Amino acid sequence: MMTYSIKEKVVLIIVSIFLSRFLSVYIAPYISSVNFSDILLLLFLIIVSGKKNIVEWRRVFALVRNPGFLFFLFIFLFLFIVGLISYFDIKSSVGELRYHIYVLLSFIIVFKGIVKDKYKLLWIAIITLIIELLITIDQRNFAADVLDPRVNFSPYIIFVSLYMLALFKKTKLLLIMSFIGIGVSLYGGFRAGAVVAIVSLVLYLAIILFFDKSERFKNKIKVYLVIFALFFLAFFVGEKIIEFVTSDKVLNHYIINRTESFFTGLFDPSSRGVVFEQDYGRLEPFLEIYRDPLYFSLPHGFGVWGAFEDGFGLGNSTRMNTLDNGYFYIAFHYGLVIGILMMSLFLCSFIDSILREGNSYYRKIKFLSVLILLGLMAINAPLQGFGSSVFMGIYLADLLKNSKIIKILFRVKPL
């Protein structure tokens, strides 16, 4: 790993602050209802890069003429126009368009090799995750007396951070960040973050410890010792943690009661109630798509995030929300026609890329990451913020970097 100067470390921290919710939580409410983190980050990077990197910036701005960039930009602009005409919610439509453009920009910048030091991306992801977790703790403490003090942040930041740690074999840091992510997510009443951290940790550790022949035995022993120390600590403080959760009305309701009610109601329909329906609303969209595929065949465009009183025009549900289910998000906003084409392009490119991957360890980690992603999309939609959109672009660029399909689409030439 490269060592960085004080200036580079400061830049990494500031970039991470821009990518986190820090400005939107602590600064934007007092200045404007619109978060300008993206514009401020761009200005900051241009200033700190200096004249010597002006050639690199020309390469970045030249990417807007790339055929692959223009292809996806055309689709996103089409969805933006459709949503604007349908709902005339300018703020929401522009917001969704911005998030999609962030994914596209970060993807093509990393995919084209403009960012040469991938370790910087790793540390930006880790620092951003740490900032997000600190903000969650602060918000949870501040909102202790309100009706619903749960604190949600994008689980996709946890997903990408842990993926990159596994990819770079930062096993001890993967363990520590996973446990911290699980603890803070549960403290904030945010089960999706805890679930993705637990699943990622278990699957990635299994590959590192049992299926990675290149990993030295000495390093594996160190990992086992860290795991033992963490579980030893959890054993002694576990009782106090359970007491804390059960004594906290919010945590007891959202972590214990709702989880028990969901699984009980799933297998025993007679026991279903309001609590079960709140979580079942994340799965209900699959049934709605099945019941009325014609309604979802054409796109509704960008600009509609929350649930509608008329159940998105279906008239039979008030709990559905496109932010709670990534597949419902695609079916509703993109339409099944465009959505299936986009998902097919992703899956074909992924298969093409993983078959061309020469490193067997990378193949296993990337395959597991896609399984985790497909599962995560069933309980939470991506692209719900500036940081998560940028990190998803970085993730997709690394995941699909060997795909000949994507290279042809984006006209990638050897650097």
Model pLDDT, residue 379: 83
Measured distance CA(14)–CA(3) in Å, rounded: 18
pLDDT in tens, 183-241: 878 777 777 788 888 899 888 988 887 777 666 666 667 666 767 676 666 666 666 66
In degrees, rounded to 5, the angle at the alpha carbon of residue 141 between the alpha carbons of residues 140 and 142 is 90
Measured distance CA(252)–CA(231) in Å, rounded: 23
Quick one: what percent of the chain has pLDDT higher than 90? 23
Model pLDDT, residue 315: 47
pLDDT in tens, 264-296: 555 555 555 544 455 555 667 777 788 888 888
Model pLDDT, residue 176: 86
Lowest mean pLDDT among 26-30, 253-257, 325-329, 335-339: 253-257
Instruction: Indicate the pLDDT class of residue 320, thresholds 50, 70 and 90.
Output: low
pLDDT of residue 342 exceeding 90, the answer is yes
pLDDT in tens, 387-403: 889 999 999 999 999 99
pLDDT of residue 108 exceeding 60, the answer is yes
Model pLDDT, residue 29: 66
Instruction: Indicate the pLDDT class of residue 411, thresholds 50, 70 and 90.
Output: confident
Instruction: Indicate the pLDDT class of residue 354, thresholds 50, 70 and 90.
Output: very high
Instruction: Give the chain's mean pLDDT.
Output: 78
Annotated domain spans of the chain = 6-410
Q: What is the pTM of this model?
A: 0.84
- How many CB atoms sit inside 10 A of residue 17's CB? 19
Model pLDDT, residue 311: 45
pLDDT of residue 150 exceeding 60, the answer is no
Model pLDDT, residue 324: 78
pLDDT in tens, 8-38: 888 899 989 988 888 888 877 676 655 677 7
- The residue that leads in pLDDT, 190 or 361, is 361
pLDDT of residue 114 exceeding 90, the answer is no
Model pLDDT, residue 48: 64
What does the radius of gyration of the chain's CA atoms come to, in whole angstroms?
22
Cβ(329)–Cβ(79) below 8 Å: no
Segment 114-123 shows an average pLDDT of 84
Model pLDDT, residue 233: 66
Model pLDDT, residue 241: 63
pLDDT of residue 106 exceeding 50, the answer is yes
Instruction: Indicate the pLDDT class of residue 123, thresholds 50, 70 and 90.
Output: very high
Segment 59-69 shows an average pLDDT of 76
pLDDT of residue 413 exceeding 80, the answer is no
- The residue that leads in pLDDT, 25 or 165, is 165
Model pLDDT, residue 113: 75
